[in-house]
Amino acid sequence: MTSARTIRIFDTTLRDGEQSPGASMNLTEKLEIAQALVRLGVDVIEAGFPIASPGDFASVSDIAKTVSAATVCGLARCNDADIDRAWEALKPAAQPRIHVFLATSSIHREFKLRMNEDEVIARAVAGVRRARTYCGDVEFSPEDSARTEIDFLCRVVEAVIDAGATTVNIPDTVGYATPSQMHYVIKSLRERVPNIDRAVISVHCHDDLGLAVANSLAAVEAGAGQVECTINGIGERAGNCSLEEVVMALKTRRDHYHVDTRVVTQRLVPTSRLVANITGIQVPRNKAIVGRNAFAHEAGIHQDGMLKERRTYEIMRPEDVGLERTDLVLGKHSGRAALADRALALGYQLTPEQLQTVFERFKVLADRKKEIYDGDIAALCEQQFSALPEQFTFEGYTLTSASGSPPTVELRVLQNGEPRSVSVTAGDGPIDGIFLAIEKLTGIQTACRDFRVQAVTVGKDAQAEVTVELAATTPGDGGQVHRGRGVSTDSLEASAKAFLGAINRVALGSQPRIHPQ
């Protein structure tokens, strides 16, 4: 194989990805994703925006302390307080990077910043200089680059490189660019900015027109050396460039792009599942690379071709993205070691205590359903990693219900370890009745923003996975949306667990955050 440029993969799942509505993650979840990203082989992990909230600060700082095999990056606006706070969080990192950004397009200059071109350049240069007093690795992003006049963009890029930026990222903040435009912008920077060789050119594309991956690939063709992306393409609005798609496009069409990445592609599906489970943002079945149907062949002609020669209808091998040809794995008689192995293959490295709990739950589940699939194991492991301190723990329910009249629900929970119960006759059906019982018992009133049920695997005995999003209507919570997830072979029990999960988050309280855009 000929030697080729290596494109740096900058993952921003924990920062831009977390800006997806409803995707906020707790510290344990972020650390788990950061470890999965290290195993995936990404070069840079953007761990958060430290000044945004104490929670963001803590997660950047904890990831900085625990990750040494990748660069750990923190975002900051171009002001002293942001940059100082970012450095405070990043300084324990083996490879820290400060990422400063400032908008440059005329629409942002005029209406958001109320600054002229020279003032924007002066602020950008001051931000980069301050970041460089702390750290040798500084990235600068001219926000909304794709709508910035090319002459001005060249001036900004030259000035920030002179001030010490080692990576210059070109964001298409609003997903407005087209592939040929992106190619032109990167090519122009390479041709017109005299000091461009002193920095890596990066690209950060949003997916508002569904072009984020195509635009990122066009930037690579024009000479970009870093691509910013997220697992499953999550992010602000329509999301970001999807990591798995851009990486597999570069790998599958190496004949065309002539570049490599360091990503261990066999980890793509496990990492995608982990992020989907933690964020509650499920991957559509037909999603490229990691969707359930991505390697399923339905048409008879295709199946026939596949049997004769796989390459007739398959351009990638499922095992290269970490997908097993069959995912039926374990049953009632499987042992602890087999479970630990399977969990690891799915991306979950369990401590002995976590393995013990997962194994106990696995045995209970194996009594309820004959065949245990990868999805079941992922769901069991997930409950370990996303565990928050629980004020309310589901114990059980008794329910009588008939169409046309309100159900009667008796609900039993543990509150800080103490048994409590409540009975209500109310609601429009059993799930509404359970939710009302939970509200009565906890005293927390909510508005339901989303409720989704899906089967974790296949078959009549499949586990139901319920995801709910609630906005607390209790004064003081600020209407923030909280997510909960519950899994059980009994869909009412899964609903009760999901609802209580979200209520536990409300009870824990959460800090307001600043969003960068």
Q: Which residues sit at the interface with ligand KIV, rule CB under 6 A?
A: 16, 101, 141, 143, 169, 171, 173, 204, 206, 516
Q: Using CB distances below 5 to 8 A depending on partner kind, what does residue 141 bind out of Zn ion, ligand KIV, none?
A: ligand KIV
For residue 97, give Cα distances in angstroms to 83, 114, 171, 348, 382: 11, 29, 17, 27, 30
- Smallest gap from Cβ 12 to ligand KIV, in A, equals 7
CA distance 353 to 140: 43
CB of 394 to ligand KIV, least distance (A): 38
CB of 141 to ligand KIV, least distance (A): 4
488 SS3 class:
strand
Q: With CB cut-offs between 5 and 8 Å by kind, which of ligand KIV, Zn ion, none does residue 158 bind?
A: none
Is 465 an interacting residue with respect to Zn ion (CB under 5 A)?
no
Q: Which does 143 bind (CB under 5 to 8 A by kind): ligand KIV, Zn ion, none?
A: ligand KIV
Give the span between the Cα atoms of 200 and 209, in whole angstroms: 26
Q: Which does 439 bind (CB under 5 to 8 A by kind): ligand KIV, Zn ion, none?
A: none
In the complex with ligand KIV, the residue whose CB is nearer, 179 or 484, is 179
Q: Which is nearer to ligand KIV, 62 or 236 (CB)?
A: 236
Give the integer Cα–Cα distance in Å for 466 and 462.
13
Partner whose binding site includes residue 273, from Zn ion, ligand KIV, none (CB under 5 to 8 Å by kind) = none
Q: Please, are residues 31 and 62 in contact by the beta-carbon 8 Å criterion?
A: yes
CB of 202 to Zn ion, least distance (A): 12
Q: Is 47 or 346 the residue whose CB approaches ligand KIV more closely?
A: 47
Which residue number, 114 or 515, has a Cβ lying nearer to Zn ion? 515
Minimum distance from residue 82 beta carbon to ligand KIV (Å) = 12
Helical spans, DSSP H, in 11-53: 27-40
Q: Which is nearer to Zn ion, 16 or 32 (CB)?
A: 16
Written as six digits, the tokens of 459 are 């078959």
In whole angstroms, give the CA distance from residue 97 to residue 75.
Answer: 9
Residues 48/74, Cβ–Cβ less than 8 Å: yes
Residue 171 C-beta: closest distance to ligand KIV, Å: 3
Q: Which residue is nearest to Zn ion (CB)?
A: 16
User: CB within 8 A of 185, min separation 6: which ones?
Assistant: 145, 146, 150, 153, 170, 177, 219, 222
Min CB(25)–ligand KIV separation in Å: 17
DSSP letter string, 71-134 = EEEEEEESSHHHHHHHHHHHTT-SSEEEEEEEE-SHHIIIIII---HHHHHHHHHHHHHHHHHH
Chain centroid to CA 502: 19
Please check whether residue 175 is in contact with residue 209, taking contact to mean a CB–CB distance below 8 angstroms.
Answer: yes
To ligand KIV, the closest distance from the beta carbon of 176 in angstroms equals 11
Measured from the CB atom, the residue of 86 and 343 that comes closer to ligand KIV is 86
3 state DSSP class of 321: helix
Cα–Cα distance for residue pair 265/474, rounded to 1 Å: 45
35 binds, among Zn ion, ligand KIV, none (CB under 5 to 8 A by kind): none
Residue 248 Cα to chain centre, angstroms: 18
The number of CA neighbours under 13 Å toward the Cβ of 143 is 19
What is the pattern of x (binds Zn ion, CB under 5 A) and - over residues 8-27?
--------x-----------
Q: Residue 228 CB, nearest distance to ligand KIV (Å)?
A: 7
Closer to ligand KIV at the Cβ: 166 or 489? 166
Subset of 107-136 contacting Zn ion (CB under 5 A): none
484 binds, among Zn ion, ligand KIV, none (CB under 5 to 8 A by kind): none
516 binds, options ligand KIV, Zn ion, none, Cβ within 5 to 8 A by partner type: ligand KIV
The region that residue 269 occupies, defined by phi over 0 for left and psi between -120 and 50 for alpha, beta otherwise, is alpha
CB of 517 to ligand KIV, least distance (A): 6
Core vs surface per residue 150-185: b (16+ CB within 10 A) or e = eebbbbbbbbbbebbbbbbbbbbbbbbbebebbbeb
**For ligand KIV, the closer CB: 140 or 435:** 140
Pick from Zn ion, ligand KIV, none: which does 101 bind, CB < 5 to 8 A by kind?
ligand KIV
CB-nearer residue toward Zn ion: 16 or 137 = 16
Closer to ligand KIV by Cβ: residue 204 or 497: 204
Closer CB to Zn ion, 49 or 397, in the complex: 49
Residue 229 or 431 with smaller CB distance to Zn ion: 229
- Compute φ and ψ for 228, nearest 5 degrees: -95, 135
Residues 188, 193, 194: CA angle, nearest 5 degrees: 140
Measured from the CB of residue 310, what is the shortest distance to Zn ion in angstroms? 38
- Among ligand KIV, Zn ion, none, residue 272 binds (CB under 5-8 Å by kind): none
Task: Tell me which residue of 236, 254, 252 sits closest to 2, measured CA to CA.
Answer: 254
147 binds, options ligand KIV, Zn ion, none, Cβ within 5 to 8 A by partner type: none
CB of 150 to ligand KIV, least distance (A): 17
Residue 215 interacting partner from ligand KIV, Zn ion, none (CB closer than 5 to 8 Å by kind): none
Q: In 299-358, which ranges are E strands?
A: 328-330
Q: Rule CB under 5 A: which residues touch Zn ion?
A: 16
